[in-house]
Structure 1
Amino acid sequence: MIIFGTKGYLYQLAILTLVCGQCGNPAAHTLRKRVTKFTLFFVPLFPFSTKFGTQCTFCGAEHQVPKEQADQLLAQAAGAVQNPAQQYGQPQGQPGGNPYQR
């Protein structure tokens, strides 16, 4: 007797701030990778399906995205992590100096 089947794995790749296509709100979206692997005797051997998608944390809507777009979003998230000052802007000083500094 041979026992075979499939097993699914879900990986969270990044969290991005995007405008949701469903609700229209600028909200955090999780970028996820879903991999389905062929199993033999409950041992995962090789992947035969890989899909990428985003999920809005505001309304819960999920959208499937192609691999190329997922790679671009992942590169965008990695660039924001490497240079956080660029994402949020440079800190600005108060005009006239710091009133608490002597």
Structure 2
Amino acid sequence: MLIFGLRTVVRQLGVVTLICRNCGNTAAQVLSRRVTKFSLFFVPLFPVRTKYGMQCTFCAASYTISKDEATRLAVH
């Protein structure tokens, strides 16, 4: 018997103040990284997918961003 699956972990990288792409308001944007890992017997082995995203604290809209943009924003 083999037990395998995928597990996604979301980690907050920081909060930056930017203009929201959705509502146009200047508000805090939460920068996060979402990593999906392949698991065997409930032990995460290797990442399958990594996505970066932003979520507006004013309108709660979320959208994906590139790794380069996330790295640039996380430094500030």
Alignment partner of 1:17 is 2:21: no
What CA distance in whole angstroms lies between the structure 1 residues aligned with 2:31 and 2:37? Answer: 20
SS in 2 for 1:27: strand
In the alignment, the residues of structure 2 paired with residue 54 and residue 19 of structure 1 have an alpha-carbon distance, to the nearest angstrom, of: 11
Code of the residue aligned with 2:32 in structure 1: it is R
> Under a length normalisation based on structure 2, what TM-score does the superposition of the two structures give?
0.97
The aligned runs of 1:9-88 (5 Å cut-off) are 9-76=9-76
Consecutive unaligned residues of structure 2, counting only runs of 5 or more, are: none
Which residue pairs with 1:2 in the alignment? 2
Q: Distance in 1 between matches of 2:31 and 2:67?
A: 11
- Residue of structure 2 equivalent to 1:99: none
Give the C-alpha shift of residue 11 in structure 1.
0.2
Unaligned stretches of 5+ in structure 1? 77-102
- After TM superposition, give the deviation of residue 49 of structure 1 in Å: 0.6
Structure 1 or 2: more strand by fraction = 2
1:59 maps to amino acid: C
Q: CA deviation at 1:75?
A: 1.3
Structure with more of its chain in helix, by fraction: 1
Work out the CA distance in 2 between the residues paired with 1:34 and 1:45: 16
Number of aligned positions between the proteins:
76
Report percent identity of matched pairs: 53
Q: Secondary structure of the equivalent of 2:69? A: helix
2:29 aligned partner, one-letter code: H
Deviation >3 Å, runs of 4+? none
Structure of greater Rg:
1
